[in-house]
Amino acid sequence: MQVTEEVEKLLQLKAQIADDVQPHKFVLKCPKGTRDYNPQQMAIREGVFNTIIKCFKRHGAETIDTPVFELKETLTGKYGEDSKLIYDLKDQGGELLSLRYDLTVPFARYLAMNKIANIKRYHIAKVYRRDNPAMTKGRFREFYQCDFDIAGQYDSMIPDAECVKIVAEILTSLDLGEYKIKVNHRKLLDGMFAACGVPDDKFRTICSTVDKLDKTFWEDVRAEMVDEKGLNPEAADRIGHYVKFQGGMESVELLLKDETIQKQKSAVEGLEDLKLLLVYCELYGIADKVMFDLSLARGLDYYTGVIYEAVLQGYTNKPSAKEEESVSVGSVAGGGRYDGLVGMFDPRGKMVPCVGVSIGIERVFSILEQRVLASNAKIRTTETEVFVVSAQKNLLEERMKLCKELWDADIKTEQSYKRNPKPLDQFQYCENNGIPLAVIIGQSEIQEGVVKLRVVATRKECVVPRNTMVEEIKKELAQLSRDTTGINNPQTAGGKCC
């Protein structure tokens, strides 16, 4: 990541220098807050996606896709203070469009449009936010979300607990170290705000401010409430008391006994839900990963019930002295219940209760990329099994016939795109790219109706008849695959014939 940025800077400098001699000035870069993925990065990304998709499918999800942009009005009034971060398209005649800000609002629009009352679906796609990027921390303007949602009228906390279970399964599989899944409840927050004396019409904006507690300190949050949002200082201090509540079942029980909280029907409902959620998490074997935290607020307007957010331990959002040295990524997943969103789209206001979770993949990439860089591991970016080598000049047509035969037999095959490549260059290419097997032809092989097979790692060679070549190569590849995945010793790897 830092390498990419450095390269980008150097290229820009170079472009500026070149302008002195070139007439046309242009900037060679990706748009601010976006990045390319090179083949190594794509290999890491695909590994992460496979882990996530495997988990979503393990829980019986199907998948859908929606357009990258929506009618502007589809997104209007769904994101509260974050709406200013929505990318709009230029008015070029016709509909007014915006890039999707998340996958949840398009999902709700999809449900309402198709009158779907029950679905369990995942959706992995890019979303767009005109936020302040911090690319080394994995904060981008274009980034992937991996969403899993359960829509339908079901019994309390059963789908909600499964979402938490899914986050735990994914973070465990990705092997990112210790993590915690913080849980809270919008009804509890609303009840707490009411108990603290926050006026009803300030609930959502105060909620947005509380949400900043994971990135900044209480003093700054309090100042924003009082100075910017006009909350009276006593109310702010009462909030300051409650947002310290965190822990397991005992914290929830403690709050249920709080006399001020008890008076708020909404707060008690939220706490009862949380109790049930914690019981289910215990049954799902993830109680040690889950933590109630009354300071968790989530910025988005549409949540109505349980909310959650997963944070990696050892990585933090808050500023620290060591910030430059560590990859600080903070939250890697979040979500919650949004029972009112689909109703906002339905012409008759028909509600479809939903709960879901979104995995924020860029932050995970940042960690895995740095890990690969640090380990100096070489990642294969192709799956080529065979390289067709010509030992002498003027054998292009023979190579082409061999390639055709191998491709048609579904063997992953490459050859040089030069008419007369040097043998050494061809073998070097195999070694550089981790291609396990070379098929070599020269004049003598052609005359004898054979080809030579070479195991690239050991340089062991054997000769096989041309008409059984495909069969022999398949055996050899199977053997090599057993050797490397089983004994994992490529130096002594030997196939059937080599």
Span 339-378, contacts to a copy of itself by CB under 8 A:
345, 347-349
**Does residue 355 sit in helix, strand or coil?**
strand
In the bound complex, what is the minimum distance in angstroms from residue 341's beta carbon to a copy of itself? Answer: 13
Question: Cα–Cα distance between 231 and 235 in angstroms, integer?
Answer: 7
185 within 8 A of 306, measured Cβ to Cβ = yes
Q: Select from 125-133, 307-315, 317-325, 442-450 the region that touches a copy of itself (CB under 8 A).
A: 125-133
Question: Does residue 37 interact with a copy of itself by CB under 8 A?
Answer: yes
Question: Does residue 152 interact with a copy of itself by CB under 8 A?
Answer: yes
Question: Does residue 14 interact with a copy of itself by CB under 8 A?
Answer: yes
Question: Does residue 126 interact with a copy of itself by CB under 8 A?
Answer: yes
Question: Cα–Cα distance between 244 and 261 in angstroms, integer?
Answer: 15
Question: Cα–Cα distance between 47 and 44 in angstroms, integer?
Answer: 5
In the bound complex, what is the minimum distance in angstroms from residue 481's beta carbon to a copy of itself? Answer: 16
Q: Select from 55-63, 198-206, 257-265, 483-491 the region that touches a copy of itself (CB under 8 A).
A: 55-63
Of 49, 87, 203, 218, the one binding a copy of itself (CB under 8 A) is 87
Place of tokens 């004898």: 448
In the bound complex, what is the minimum distance in angstroms from residue 436's beta carbon to a copy of itself? Answer: 13
Residue type, 246: Q
Span 413-472, contacts to a copy of itself by CB under 8 A:
413-414, 417-419
The 8-class DSSP code of residue 139 comes to: B
**Residue 92 or 488 having the CB closest to a copy of itself:** 92
Bridge partner list, 69: 99
Question: Does residue 39 interact with a copy of itself by CB under 8 A?
Answer: yes
Calculate the CA 336 to chain-centre distance: 18
Question: Cα–Cα distance between 303 and 354 in angstroms, integer?
Answer: 10
Q: Which string of x and - marks every residue 168-207 that binds a copy of itself (by CB under 8 A)?
A: -x--------------------------------------
Span 16-35, contacts to a copy of itself by CB under 8 A:
17-19, 22, 26-32, 34-35
The count of residues interacting with a copy of itself (CB under 8 A) is: 100
Bridge partner list, 142: 128
Annotated binding residues, written as ranges, equal 102-104, 129, 145, 149, 298, 302-303
Question: Does residue 401 interact with a copy of itself by CB under 8 A?
Answer: yes
66 within 8 A of 110, measured Cβ to Cβ = yes
Q: List the one residue out of 329, 424, 398 whose CA is nearest residue 370.
A: 329
Question: Cα–Cα distance between 387 and 466 in angstroms, integer?
Answer: 16
Question: Does residue 121 interact with a copy of itself by CB under 8 A?
Answer: yes
Q: Select from 64-72, 195-203, 242-250, 329-337 the region that touches a copy of itself (CB under 8 A).
A: 64-72
300 within 8 A of 277, measured Cβ to Cβ = no
Question: Cα–Cα distance between 108 and 342 in angstroms, integer?
Answer: 5
Of 373, 400, 478, 487, the one binding a copy of itself (CB under 8 A) is 400
Question: Does residue 142 interact with a copy of itself by CB under 8 A?
Answer: yes
Q: φ, ψ for residue 230 (rounded to 5)?
A: 70, 25
In the bound complex, what is the minimum distance in angstroms from residue 63's beta carbon to a copy of itself? Answer: 5
Annotated binding residues for L-histidine, written as ranges, equal 102-104, 129, 145, 149, 298, 302-303
**Does residue 221 sit in helix, strand or coil?**
helix
**Residue 32 or 241 having the CB closest to a copy of itself:** 32
| Triad 253, 257, 258: Cα angle to 5° | 120
308 within 8 A of 168, measured Cβ to Cβ = no
Question: Does residue 285 interact with a copy of itself by CB under 8 A?
Answer: yes
Question: Does residue 159 interact with a copy of itself by CB under 8 A?
Answer: yes
The DSSP secondary structure of 261-302, one letter per residue, reads HHT-HHHHHHHHHHHHHHHHHHHTT-GGGEEEETT---S-TT
Q: List the one residue out of 179, 382, 423, 208 whose CA is nearest residue 297.
A: 208
Q: Select from 63-71, 180-188, 367-375, 463-471 the region that touches a copy of itself (CB under 8 A).
A: 63-71
Q: Select from 150-158, 258-266, 304-312, 313-321 the region that touches a copy of itself (CB under 8 A).
A: 150-158
Place of tokens 């906002």: 344
Question: Does residue 396 interact with a copy of itself by CB under 8 A?
Answer: yes
Span 236-265, contacts to a copy of itself by CB under 8 A:
none
Of 2, 9, 50, 58, the one binding a copy of itself (CB under 8 A) is 58
**Residue 241 or 401 having the CB closest to a copy of itself:** 401
| Triad 405, 409, 413: Cα angle to 5° | 70
Q: Select from 126-134, 184-192, 254-262, 332-340 the region that touches a copy of itself (CB under 8 A).
A: 126-134
Question: Does residue 11 interact with a copy of itself by CB under 8 A?
Answer: yes
Question: Cα–Cα distance between 292 and 274 in angstroms, integer?
Answer: 8
**Does residue 108 sit in helix, strand or coil?**
helix
